[in-house]
Amino acid sequence: MKNVAVLGATGSIGGNTLDVIARHPALFRATVLTAHRQVDALVALCAQHRPALAVIADPALEAELARKLTSAGVRCEIASGHEALAAAASGNLCDTVVAAIVGAAGLQSTLAAARAGKRLLLANKEAIVMAGPLLLDAVAAGGGALIPVDSEHNALFQCLPAEGLASGKPTLHKGVRRLTLTASGGPFRGRSRAELADITPEQACKHPNWVMGRKISVDSATLMNKGLEVIEAHHLFGAAPDLINVVVHPQSLVHSFV
């Protein structure tokens, strides 16, 4: 039985993680759930998954969370703020941490989980882009493991020899000549600069193949996401930038290859 902290439980990755957890009750238990401001969504998830701890990142919402959990008949510990997120990620209620907070806000709790030796399932790509060596050192010092959740990197992880990444000191196998990430091209692939003049955030968030959170959807529409992913692959797999290339593959059938 793995006790899982889902950081960013109310998001796209968080929801998919909890779906997997709910399908395998003998293997996984969601012991910690966190959100930023979506109190009602967090309460609904707590009513379904009965965690030991619920954390709301915005401290101004802690009282509302407590009240609504009580009315929903959910009894669990409650905490708020970013220190509480880091404490939850490193505390003894979990052995596995799904880092699914979006953006720089996820860095502190991701590092805390790594330092505490948790099995760290990393979706929060911004953390490794911002602080690659620091995060890998923290994984190595903590003695836990780092598993990439970002689909392209998870595909590479599954294709590459097992040694390296789990130790927190990635070394690329000598036989590997190239890592290739695929890119769907997003909703605006093929449009000219003039055709992009009137696009809206809603159009940018309508990815042709995936339903994802708004930041990564916009990053996909601008292709910034692929830039982040090249940096992520560089750190995760210890690969020099010229070993990593990107191929546009609109069908998104293959996530990456080695």
Cβ proximity to ligand NDP, 115 vs 125, nearer residue = 125
Cβ proximity to ligand NDP, 101 vs 139, nearer residue = 101
CA distance 9 to 99: 9
**Burial annotation 113-132 (CB, 10 A radius, 16+ → b, else e):** bbbbbbbbbbbbbbbbbbbb
Residues 22-61 that bind ligand NDP (CB under 6 A): 35-38, 57
256 binds ligand NDP (CB under 6 A): no
Residue window 128-167: x/- pattern of binding to ligand NDP, with contact defined by CB under 6 A: ----------------------x-----------------
| C-alpha torsion 62→66→69→70, nearest 10 | -170
Stretch binding ligand NDP (CB under 6 A), from 3-11, 46-54, 181-189, 233-241: 3-11
CB 39 within 8 A of CB 16: no
Cβ proximity to ligand NDP, 115 vs 226, nearer residue = 226
The residue written with tokens 């760290």 in the block is 120
> Could you write out the DSSP letters of every residue in 182-205?
EE---TTTT--TGGGTT--HHHHT
Cβ proximity to ligand NDP, 100 vs 116, nearer residue = 100
The distance between the two most distant Cα atoms of the chain, rounded to a whole number of Å, is 59
Task: Give the HSE-up count for residue 47: Cα atoms under 13 Å, Cβ half-sphere.
Answer: 14
- Which of 5, 11, 232, 233 is close enough to bind ligand NDP by CB under 6 A? 11
- Strands 179-183 and 256-257 come out as antiparallel
Residue whose CB is nearest to ligand NDP in the complex, by number:
11
Cβ proximity to ligand NDP, 100 vs 181, nearer residue = 100
- Which of 30, 102, 138, 179 is close enough to bind ligand NDP by CB under 6 A? 102
Binding positions for ligand NDP, rule: CB under 6 A: 8-14, 35-38, 57, 100-102, 105, 123-126, 150, 210, 212-216
